[in-house]
Amino acid sequence: MADYQSQIDAFKQENVDIIALSVDPSDKAKETVEQQNLKFPVAYGLEVPRDAEKIGAFWEEGRKIFHATNLILDSDKKVVAASYSTGPIGRIVSADTLGYIQFLKKRKAQQS
């Protein structure tokens, strides 16, 4: 999440919202937000497996966690890119997300 926070101004310039999802309870999520000085919403209290299955995330029953799941949605809320990790690696970094969003916008402008 810190990676995305470090690029928050670039996302704002692209008119892109960032939202994080967490299985953490409210107090732990608030602690993360404060420690990383996050300026985007962090939804907390998601449940495994119910909420993980809604977005197709890989999850662990024993630790009650989602593995890294990154979704990029267009302005119609349609998933245009996704990365589902089966372990602790496999996240879409902010630079790649920004580049992909800029590519999609350029392509859309060319089609207009």
Classify 25 as helix, strand or coil: coil
* 45-82 pLDDT per residue, tens: 999 999 999 988 988 989 989 898 999 999 899 999 99
Q: How far apart are CA 85 and CA 27, in angstroms?
A: 26
User: What does the domain layout of the chain look like in residue ranges?
Assistant: 2-107
Q: Which fold has domain 2-107?
A: Glutaredoxin (3.40.30)
Determine the pLDDT at residue 87: 80
Read off the pTM: 0.87
Contacts of 92 (CB under 8 A, 6+ apart): 70, 72, 81, 83
